Amino acid sequence: MIDLTVKGIDGSDVPLSEFDGQVRLIVNVASKCGNTPQYEALESLYEQYKDKGFTILGFPANDFGGQEPGTDEEIAEFCSLTYGVQFPMFSKISVTGDDKHPLYEYLTSQPEPVGGEVGWNFQKYLVDRAGNVVRRFGPRKPPLDPDVTSAIESLL
């Protein structure tokens, strides 16, 4: 996995190495998207597997249809109050275009079918314990879909 330090949604510096050894689902999220209700399923997935070495990393992005217009503080409040999100959330980034965040440069540069450009909000990248990006799930693939849960379980 790429060795980066990212900004937590609270403004703190968070080295991604903090999650080394865990299975990770990296998701670009948005508060005003048709897929926003996936937060509920993501939180359920996190609660189900967090004690087995799994985490979700949520990266708010406003790249598609202006669907994440809020500040980090507004996003954190929305996620907490509306969906009870406990998994790690990070400062808003760009996941596409000229100002694409280095993490997403890395994720999207992986060979197909794992890599490839982010198509919309709630695209999911699955990373194994060794830091290898092993699967990509499209924005419309529900987090609790058997394809997703079986892929996670196979890595735990």
pLDDT recorded at residue 2? 74
Active site residue 79: no
Alpha helices in 53-145 (DSSP H): 72-83, 102-108
The amino acid at residue 125 is: Y
Q: Which of 23, 26, 33, 133 is catalytic?
A: 33
pLDDT recorded at residue 1? 61
Q: How far apart are CA 95 and CA 92, in angstroms?
A: 10
Break the chain into its structural domains and give their ranges. 5-155
Q: Number of H helices and number of E strands within the chain?
A: 4, 6
SS3 108: helix
8 A C-beta contact, residue 96 and residue 127: no
Phi–psi pair at 114, nearest 5 degrees = -75, -45
pLDDT recorded at residue 3? 85
pLDDT tens digits in sequence order for the chain, 156 residues long: 678 999 999 999 999 999 999 999 999 999 999 899 999 999 999 999 999 999 999 999 999 999 999 999 999 999 999 999 999 999 999 999 999 999 999 999 999 999 999 999 999 999 999 999 999 999 999 999 999 999 999 999
**What is the dotted CATH code of the domain comprising 5-155?**
3.40.30.10
